[in-house]
Structures are given as structure tokens and as C-alpha cells.
């Protein structure tokens, strides 16, 4: 397997496709940490180039440098043969570079057209010319985007196409996609990859960041592996396996979520009895007749395309919303009317879907974030007062145990990579040994090593009798961890599946309404 330097030299010597992007000696330092160290990256024009690496490896920092968000301390950037200095995203856009972030940046109360032209009104105005340009790009690249539809009325896959269209509208010829499949079902992933291949045939270049190694191998023309801030290999996907990629990334075998023998008991830990939830702005039911029981030692998985009620279901259980009708029981205790703090103190752990909105205070230090939701519990308090010394010691323990990569527990949560933020949240929740854990996308955005650690923690807690409600867009995770899987569709539990026999395709079909669980089970 060739190193990055050897592969780059071979490509240059062979006179292959010209390079759209060439990074040499890229180094970026922050106080207490070197994020990038002498990174080399060669991206051939008209190809899909995947960048893989564990959390904290420096992928995001490198892409921010390429997109002009941060300047490198050392090194050079060459775009289509011309060395450039990119001091802002505006300059990157002028150089033909666009970036689609993992968290979509769309205003739901605006139309597709309004979202696309926002900030780029000078290009084609905001009326018919812009509408015609959007349709032209949509047709040319097979994106199937209608300009006058409200974003709030469309699904996740459509929203991603809008994000891609936004950068194409601004003239991008080099696209950076950060974890683009994180929230997609298998059919949407396949559709996205078809779009990427279409972009490639039109001469565009795609840089694709992902933790899903099977997807990387299926779509990439070239792969660069980054570990601990530097490039360790540039490989041809035809010559490498997922296991070998995992070893290059983290020095270990590719993990599996597969759970052990059943530990389910007859003791109900969480019961949802006839839960209905009507939207505040309309009479539409967001949740419709949800009946569900999670027993001690049981993991119940919820599969569904985002926007079908999963988030609201979790919010009802956590006391963030009151159901219109129905009951929520923790053991035999009715917690339907209880507040969030009361529910947390009763033993419900919470790994939120949106870690920035519900899981962290980004401007606060790590040790203060470790107390969130547990500020009335040991070791964070001593009598009526916060015990800062004990809280800091506990944070240091979690940082070490969960491999949260940070120069200090005093830095802000916002300074960590997304994966390290997630590990901090998981460590915080699991440290309090909850009776029930609500885990919404618990391994989203983490590398294979951290993913394996989180899976092991959930399985260990399950063996100890914890009940888990697992919501995930990762069907391998759902099938591997769950004792039972339910599909949620338009606010209803539409089908129950046995994870030992169900396929990803069957789940995907049920999630999109192509079939029901009962039909699949037959």
C-alpha cells in the first residue's frame, strides 16, 4: 500500500489527470494542539476524492483551510495549477470551491429559490432569472429541485440537493461534502451517489468526508487517510478493504455493533400508552397513537426518515413537550406531566439528536458542560452548592475514559471537533447509570474507534438492566444493537421488525412508505 507521498509522486510522474487541488505541507496549530502537521493532499480533477480519519484527526480543520475559514500556519494551496491564498469563504467561492456542511444551513420558512439566492442576489437577481438558473442547474445535474417549494415541506434528501445546488449556483467546480450521508436512508444514499457521479461526468471535483467506510469504497476514485493530524496513506479503493482502512485510521479492526444474547426481562422500564401530539401551528397530528414498552435489558430501535416524529417522540418522553393525550410511565410512575429536571433526576439519560442545541453550551468550558442535566447530582454538588473541584475531577476522568481529545478541560465545548463533543455527551450520560437511556443518533459523526466504544457502553449498560430507546439513521447500528426495531412513518409506528432477519432494503422501503412492517414480516 503506497504512502501519500509515493502515490502523489507516481501520479505526477505518470501524467495522469491534472490536479484540481494540491495541498503541500499544510500545518495548523492551536493553543495546546497541532491540528494539521505537514499534510499533503492531491485531488485529481473530475474525480470523487474521499478523506477518512478518526475524530480529531484534522479533517475538518483541513477543509476549513481549503474553504478559507482558517488560514494555514504553513504550507501552500494550489487550485487548478495556480497557487492561492484563501483568506475567507468568499475568496474560496471565487476560486470555484463550495462546501456543503453536515448540518444543513437552510431557512425552513423560505422557498428553495429564496434559500439558494440568499447572499448571492447579485448573480441572477431574485426573480425569474434566478428561477430559470436554478431549473437549468437542477436539470443539468439531475437534482430535481423545484424553486418555489417551501423548505419546510420537503424531506432530508431534497434538502441536501438544495445545499449542493446552492454551491453550484455560485459557480463551484470543486465541492466539499462533510458527512453527506449521515441523515439519509439507503435509497437516498444511492441517489446521492448517482448525483455525485453525474457531477463527476460533468467535470466537477468532489471531496467527500465520511466515517462510513463501505460508502467510501463504493463511490470514491481516490482515498486519503489522515491520522493524528497528518496524512498516512493515499490509496486506490480497488486495492483496499474496509478493515484495512479502519486499521489505517485507528489501528484496529473495523468494529461491529452486533449484540450478544438477549437480556430482556419482564420489567417495564419505559411505557408509552396512546401518545398523541398535535402541532402547535396546525391541527395535524405529529404523533398518532404511539404504544411502546421498553423493558429492562432491552434496546428498542426506531427507524425512520427524519421529520416523521422521532424528535417529537423523544421530546415528549423528556418532558420538553406535553402530549395531547396518552401517558408516559417510568417503571410504574406516571411522568407525563413531569418537567425535564424531574425526569432526569428520576433516572432518564439523554443523548440528543442536535448536540449543539440540546446537549452542550458551546461557549462554556468542558467541566461546566459535564454538569448539564446533572447539576443537582453528585459529584457536581456538595450540599446546596456546586462542587467545582469534584466536577472538574469527574470531567478529567470522563475525558480520559472516553478518549475526548482536548488540550484541557478548561477549553470551551465549541473548540472540540464534532466527534469529541459527542464522546463528551455520551460519557456524561453513561456516567450517571440511567435506568432508561434515550439515544438519538448516538454515534453520528464519530470515527470507527469511538463508534465501537459507544456501542460497547450501550451493550454493557443493557446487560446491567438499562432500557434503551435507540433512534438512528445508521441501519447497521439499528440492526446490530436492537432487540426490536419499529419503523415510524408520519407519526405512527407502522411496522415491527426482527433485527435478526430484516434487511436494510426492507427497512428502507418501510421507512419511505413503500411497504409496511406487517407485509415485510410475511
Q: Is it the case that residue 438 has pLDDT exceeding 70?
A: yes
- pLDDT of 251 reads 59
Q: How many CB atoms lie within 10 A of CB 463?
A: 13
Alpha carbons 370 and 377: distance in angstroms, whole number: 12
Q: In the structure, what pLDDT confidence band is assigned to residue 5 with cuts at 50, 70 and 90?
A: very low
Q: Is it the case that residue 445 has pLDDT exceeding 80?
A: no
Q: What is the pLDDT of residues 354-390, one digit of tens each?
A: 888 889 999 999 999 999 989 888 899 988 899 999 9
Q: What single string gives the DSSP state of each residue in 162-223?
A: HHHHHHHHTT-SEEEEESTTTT--HHHHHHHHHHHHHHHHTT-EEEEE-S-HHHHHHH-SEE
Q: What is the pLDDT of residues 173-214, one digit of tens each?
A: 999 988 887 667 677 788 888 888 888 988 899 998 887 788
Q: Which three cell numbers stand for residue 398?
A: 470522563
Q: Which of 110-119, 256-265, 411-420 has the lowest mean pLDDT?
A: 256-265
What is the Cα 378 distance to its own chain's centre?
31
Q: Is it the case that residue 81 has pLDDT exceeding 60?
A: yes
- pLDDT of 252 reads 55
Q: Which of 163-167, 249-253, 324-328, 482-486 has the lowest mean pLDDT?
A: 249-253
Alpha carbons 375 and 173: distance in angstroms, whole number: 49
Alpha carbons 86 and 65: distance in angstroms, whole number: 8
Domains of the chain in start order, with CATH, are 1-96+203-250 (3.40.50.300), 268-360+435-521 (3.40.50.300)
Q: In the structure, what pLDDT confidence band is assigned to residue 7 with cuts at 50, 70 and 90?
A: very low
> Strand order in 74-79's β-sheet?
33-44, 19-30, 74-79, 82-84
- pLDDT of 41 reads 95
Alpha carbons 429 and 419: distance in angstroms, whole number: 16
Return mean pLDDT, the chain.
Answer: 86
Computed over its alpha carbons, how large is the radius of gyration of the chain? 24
Q: In the structure, what pLDDT confidence band is assigned to residue 164 with cuts at 50, 70 and 90?
A: confident
Alpha carbons 27 and 516: distance in angstroms, whole number: 52
- pLDDT of 146 reads 84
Alpha carbons 433 and 419: distance in angstroms, whole number: 22
Alpha carbons 241 and 261: distance in angstroms, whole number: 29
* Burial 63-87, CB ≥16 within 10 A → b, else e: bbbbbbbbebeebebebbeeebebe
- pLDDT of 11 reads 41
Alpha carbons 414 and 354: distance in angstroms, whole number: 14
Q: In the structure, what pLDDT confidence band is assigned to residue 156 with cuts at 50, 70 and 90?
A: confident
Q: How buried is residue 124: exposed, middle or buried, by Cβ count under 10 Å (0-12/13-18/19+)? A: middle
**If you search the block for the grid coordinates 435478526, which residue do you land on?**
500
- pLDDT of 245 reads 85
- pLDDT of 219 reads 92
Cβ atoms of 435 and 347 within 8 Å: the answer is yes
Alpha carbons 253 and 249: distance in angstroms, whole number: 10
Q: First-to-last CA distance in the chain?
A: 47
Highest mean pLDDT: which range of 37-46, 160-169, 181-190: 37-46
Q: In the structure, what pLDDT confidence band is assigned to residue 15 with cuts at 50, 70 and 90?
A: very low
Q: Which of 155-159, 430-434, 467-471 has the lowest mean pLDDT?
A: 155-159
Q: Is it the case that residue 313 has pLDDT exceeding 80?
A: yes
**Residue 115 DSSP SS3:** helix
Amino acid at each position: 500500500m503506497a504512502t501519500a507521498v509515493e502515490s502523489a509522486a507516481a501520479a505526477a510522474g505518470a501524467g495522469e489527470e491534472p490536479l484540481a487541488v494540491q495541498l503541500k505541507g499544510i500545518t495548523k496549530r492551536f493553543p495546546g494542539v497541532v491540528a494539521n502537521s505537514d499534510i499533503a493532499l492531491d485531488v485529481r480533477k473530475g474525480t470523487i476524492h474521499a478523506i477518512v480519519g478518526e475524530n480529531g484527526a484534522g479533517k475538518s480543520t483541513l477543509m476549513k483551510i481549503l474553504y478559507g475559514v482558517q488560514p494555514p500556519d504553513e504550507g501552500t494551496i494550489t487550485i487548478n495549477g495556480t497557487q492561492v491564498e484563501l483568506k475567507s469563504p468568499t475568496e474560496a467561492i471565487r476560486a470555484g470551491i463550495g462546501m456543503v456542511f453536515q448540518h444543513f444551513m437552510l431557512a425552513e420558512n423560505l422557498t428553495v429559490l429564496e434559500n439558494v439566492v440568499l447572499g448571492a442576489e447579485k448573480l441572477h437577481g431574485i426573480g425569474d432569472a434566478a428561477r430559470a438558473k436554478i431549473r437549468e442547474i437542477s436539470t443539468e445535474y439531475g437534482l430535481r429541485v423545484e424553486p418555489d417549494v417551501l423548505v419546510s415541506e420537503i424531506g432530508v434528501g431534497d434538502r441536501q440537493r438544495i445545499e449542493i445546488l446552492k454551491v453550484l449556483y455560485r459557480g463551484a467546480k470543486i465541492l466539499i461534502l462533510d458527512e453527506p450521508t449521515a441523515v439519509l436512508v439507503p435509497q437516498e444514499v444511492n441517489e446521492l451517489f448517482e448525483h455525485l457521479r453525474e457531477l463527476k461526468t460533468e467535470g466537477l471535483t468532489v471531496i467527500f468526508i465520511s466515517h462510513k467506510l463501505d460508502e467510501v469504497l463504493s463511490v470514491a476514485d481516490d482515498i486519503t487517510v489522515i491520522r493524528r493530524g497528518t496524512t498516512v496513506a493515499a490509496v486506490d479503493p480497488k486495492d483496499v478493504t474496509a478493515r484495512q482502512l479502519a486499521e489505517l485510521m485507528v489501528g484496529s479492526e473495523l468494529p461491529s455493533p452486533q449484540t450478544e444474547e438477549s437480556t430482556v426481562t419482564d420489567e417495564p422500564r419505559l411505557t408509552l400508552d396512546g401518545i398523541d401530539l398535535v402541532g402547535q401551528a396546525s391541527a395535524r397530528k405529529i404523533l398518532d397513537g404511539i404504544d411502546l414498552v421498553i423493558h429492562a435489558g432491552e434496546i428498542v430501535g426506531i427507524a425512520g426518515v427524519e421529520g416523521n416524529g422521532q424528535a417529537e417522540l423523544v421530546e415528549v418522553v423528556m418532558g420538553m413537550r406535553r402530549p395531547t393525550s396518552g401517558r408516559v410511565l417510568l417503571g410504574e410512575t406516571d411522568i407525563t406531566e413531569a418537567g425535564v429536571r424531574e425526569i432526569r433526576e428520576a433516572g432518564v439519560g439523554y443523548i440528543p439528536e442536535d448536540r449543539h442545541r440540546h446537549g452542550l453550551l458551546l461557549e462554556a468550558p468542558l467541566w461546566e458542560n459535564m454538569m448539564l442535566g446533572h447539576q443537582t447530582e453528585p459529584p457536581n454538588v456538595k450540599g446546596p452548592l456546586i462542587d467545582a473541584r469534584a466536577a472538574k475531577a469527574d470531567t478529567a476522568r470522563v475525558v480520559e475514559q472516553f478518549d475526548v481529545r482536548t488540550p484541557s478541560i478548561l477549553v470551551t465545548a465549541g473548540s472540540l471537533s464534532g466527534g469529541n463533543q459527542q464522546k463528551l455527551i455520551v460519557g456524561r450520560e453513561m456516567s450517571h447509570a440511567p435506568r432508561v437511556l434515550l439515544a438519538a443518533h448516538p454515534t453520528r459523526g464519530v470515527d470507527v474507534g469511538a463508534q465501537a466504544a459507544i456501542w460497547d457502553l450501550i451493550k454493557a449498560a443493557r446487560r446491567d438492566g438499562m432500557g434503551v430507546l435507540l433512534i438512528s439513521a445508521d441501519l447497521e447500528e439499528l440492526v446490530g444493537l436492537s432487540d426490536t426495531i419499529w419503523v415510524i412513518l408520519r407519526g405512527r409506528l407502522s411496522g415491527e421488525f426482527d433485527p435478526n432477519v430484516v434487511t436494510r432494503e426492507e427497512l428502507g422501503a418501510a421507512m419511505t412508505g413503500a411497504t409496511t412492517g406487517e407485509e415485510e414480516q410475511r
